[in-house]
Structure 1
Amino acid sequence: MTPTHSTPLARSLATVLLVGALAFGGPASAQVAPASASSAPGQVQNLEAVTVSGIQPGPGLWKVSKGDHVMWVLGTLSPLPNRIQWKTDEVEQTIAESQEVLGPPSIALKPKTNFFGKLFLLPSLVGARKNPDGQTLQQMVPAPDYARWLTLKKQYIGNDSGIENWRPIFAAVELYDKAIKRYGLTSSGGVKDTVRDLAKKHNVKFETVRYTMLVDEPRNAVKTFKSSPMDDRECFGRTLDTVERDMGRITERANAWATGDIDELRKLPMNDQREACISAVTEAGFAKQLGFSDVEQKAETMWMGAAERALNTNAQTFAMLPMQEVLSPKGLIARLKAAGYQVEAPDGSDAEGEAPSP
């Protein structure tokens, strides 16, 4: 176990906070054909999709500028095809010519305790994934959802009886992770690590934009989490929907990132079950009690401040942002445009996808 846990906001904030709460004391996968018309009886049918492989260019870079100062933005995405080799020539050259690389907004949860205090937390973490009061997953979710769960569990997870005691949100995360691996996808793709390595290679400063929460009494925080109810049934149901019906679309979205198809990225929704799972955590009583409810907004505000500082200070900056923050009309790129910066997509259009004026 590690003393802190952080992750970009493109990933489910629910996972950030849940795993972070448990971290107070502390990819290669073969592509398997997804379910098709010839699947075994009882398996859920999904859209047939094939992940791209080989050398791929990625999505290109967005340009944010004011006067002679420019920031090149790489939109990141999860999941991505597992068998691609990202062609990083343009990214490496841009990083090498930049004065700073700006990481995506992230969150860290850190216990305000010493090393020995962390060691004593170990016993309190046992069973933290389990439902309060010994309830089973079957007791926690609606009967129709549980019936769907049993089918999907058999297809993607197998005969794991222990997971039947987990909270719905933990079971949902496990199912989703297993499903994307089955479709030849990977949650990270190594993009952020590659960018960090390129910055190091060219001696360019890498600025981590991280909102860190210090938790004064981590043992009590874990105890509160373990004993508190959480309305995560919608998160569970939406995740079942995603795995049942949307894996084809998620694969298409991953392929669009890999091949640099900006039009396709604009057409495909980015949220999946994310918003429902975020709400399950941030609206829970323990989250409000521990001060977790507005951490996403605080991290985004930190990133905006760091981006504007970089744009005003550096001749050139390289930055990473979740693709949702790049494409959404309410995302961070749109907020920079509203603040007076010029925005140009890799295909020459503006932030909204409109062609430039003649």
Structure 2
Amino acid sequence: MPLRLLALAALLLTPFLAAAQAVAPAPAGSVTQLEAVTVSGVQPGPGLWQVRRGDHVLWILATLSPLPEKMQWQTADVERAIAASQVVLGAPTAKIDTKVGFFGKLFLLPSLFSARKNPDGARLVDLVNADDYAKWQALKAKYIGRDGGVERWRPLFAALELYRKALKKSDLDSKTSVTDTVRGLAKRHNMQLTKVAYHVEMDDLRGAIKAFTRSGPNDLECFHRAVTGLEIELPLIRARANAWATGDIDALRTLPPDGARQACLNAITEAGFARQLGLNDLPARVRDTWLAAADKALAEHPQSFAMLPLEALIGPDSTLGQLRARGYTITAPDEVPADDAPEAAVPAAATTSSR
């Protein structure tokens, strides 16, 4: 990621791009039924969704973070699909374009990093209610340790840091990139990963930072969901990672929705600075950018390969519903006939480590 985007993307887009993949609390009694151990060793991954119109097909791989830290992903099926495709689409992203030069970026870095702090030197204890702060102190001691600096962060960023450290201690890896693996497989077959990005023009980066500081997210709900639900949600996050690794599509369909993550996303997209900068409908714009790229790929190529975040592939509001409304036939991985699977000359034993 270019230097000018490094910190600002973390400020604006982290909840949308899902470092933590937090989920809503499950119904009472359901947590004890979840697998308590994070899977390891060679795993098949989630399989591929098929989108078809006539004799043109698009294979879609679900992306997810975090994934099991010690997993080795069996990538042979994915590589077969890539090898037989004419285009490989990346997962949808947002890119912030700014005209700030190199030295301007360097001068702006202190402002970028300070924007995650509370205005006027406020501490978490000054902003959140007493019950939430007591839970925060206990969880911080368990997962973060003695870090006084985080006490001055905005509640949203403190919540994300808590999730990041908790995931690490749960043998879950949020740094593993499915996109990087797909890019490497495409390169092996002399193909480039086609980026699918919605571009946000931001000529006044300094003004954007000031807008964030002045009217940043009302992130108390995000913080509340984090500290009250973390230890309920961790088994669910692990279960989702295990289900992705083992290709358990039924489990991926039935696990609860990402409620805490949605609370943090809402804190960003509904904030005054987001509306001022035209970012309040960013998720929809990113989705529409991907849909346009998928339409183009299906129209122009007999076979294409693409990636989508898991939440865009399951549930009533999935992006697949948008494709189905366009007249495409959608087939889930557990419904694709064996004789309709991707074929190409790829060694069956190909694996990729999650590290």
TM-score (norm 1): 0.84
CA distance in 2, matches of 1:62, 1:183: 29
CA distance in 2, matches of 1:7, 1:222: 8
Indicate whether 1:15 and 2:2 are aligned: no
SS in 1 for 2:3: coil
Q: Which amino acid is 2:188 matched to?
A: K
Match of 1:2 in 2: 3
CA drift of 1:189 comes to 2.6
CA drift of 1:227 comes to 3.0
Gaps of 5+ in 2: 19-31, 338-355
Give the aligned CA root-mean-square deviation in angstroms. Answer: 2.6
Return the match for 1:346 from 333, 338, 342.
333
CA distance in 1, matches of 2:204, 2:276: 12
Match of 2:152 in 1: 165
Gaps of 5+ in 1: 20-44, 351-358
Return the match for 1:106 from 87, 93, 96.
93
Indicate whether 1:256 and 2:243 are aligned: yes
Cα deviation code 1:241-284 (max 9, x no counterpart): 33121111111111011001111111102414111101111111
Indicate whether 1:122 and 2:122 are aligned: no
CA drift of 1:212 comes to 1.5
Question: In structure 2, do the counterparts of structure 1 residues 219 and 48 end up closer, same or farther at CA, with 3 Å as the change threshold?
Answer: same
> Relative contact order: is structure 1 or structure 2 higher (C-alpha 8 Å, sep ≥ 6)?
2
Contact 2:159–2:222 at 8 Å: present in 1 too?
yes
SS in 1 for 2:335: coil
CA distance in 2, matches of 1:58, 1:312: 28
Cα deviation code 1:100-138 (max 9, x no counterpart): 001111011232222232233234335222111221101
Q: Which amino acid is 1:15 matched to?
A: T
CA distance in 1, matches of 2:243, 2:15: 26
CA distance in 1, matches of 2:8, 2:60: 18
CA drift of 1:17 comes to 7.8
Return the match for 2:76 from 75, 89, 94.
89
Q: Which moved more, 1:106-115 or 1:298-307?
A: 106-115
Q: Give matches, 1:1-358, under 5 Å.
A: 2-5=3-6, 14-15=13-14, 49-125=36-112, 127-348=114-335
CA distance in 1, matches of 2:186, 2:7: 20
Contact 2:51–2:328 at 8 Å: present in 1 too?
yes
Match of 1:30 in 2: none
SS in 1 for 2:97: strand
SS in 1 for 2:290: helix
CA distance in 1, matches of 2:229, 2:336: 31
Q: Which amino acid is 2:239 matched to?
A: E
How many residues get paired? Answer: 323
Contact 2:16–2:283 at 8 Å: present in 1 too?
no
Question: In structure 2, do the counterparts of structure 1 residues 71 and 110 end up closer, same or farther at CA, with 3 Å as the change threshold?
Answer: same
Cα deviation code 1:170-201 (max 9, x no counterpart): 10010000011111001143311000111111
Contact 1:63–1:345 at 8 Å: present in 2 too?
yes
> Which one has the bigger helix percentage?
2
Cα deviation code 1:14-56 (max 9, x no counterpart): 526899xxxxxxxxxxxxxxxxxxxxxxxxx9x8711000000
Contact 1:242–1:272 at 8 Å: present in 2 too?
no
Fraction of identical pairs, as percent: 51
CA distance in 1, matches of 2:76, 2:156: 40
Cα deviation code 1:338-357 (max 9, x no counterpart): 2111111111179xxxxxxx
Q: Which amino acid is 2:158 matched to?
A: A
CA distance in 2, matches of 1:188, 1:200: 21
